[in-house]
Amino acid sequence: MLLIWGLVDKLIKPTQLVKFRSGFPQAQVYELPLSGHFPQEEHPKEVAQAIAFFMDK
């Protein structure tokens, strides 16, 4: 499982990431420090790279 998290998300606060990590301990987390709630739209290249890297594993 891959979690892609925008650290400036105003809908789901970055502090919630701790709960997601504990709920999905097997998940790989990719944090985008300058992204909000829609990282796939705000930073599509970085998201695509994160997904490609994850899928290659």
Chunked in runs of 10, what are the mean pLDDT values of the chain (57 residues)? 96 91 95 96 98 94
Q: Does this model's pTM top 0.75?
A: yes
Angle in degrees, CA 34, 23, 13, rounded to 5: 30
Amino acid at 5: W
Q: Is 45 helix (H, G, I), strand (E, B) or coil?
A: helix
The pLDDT assigned to 51 comes to 98
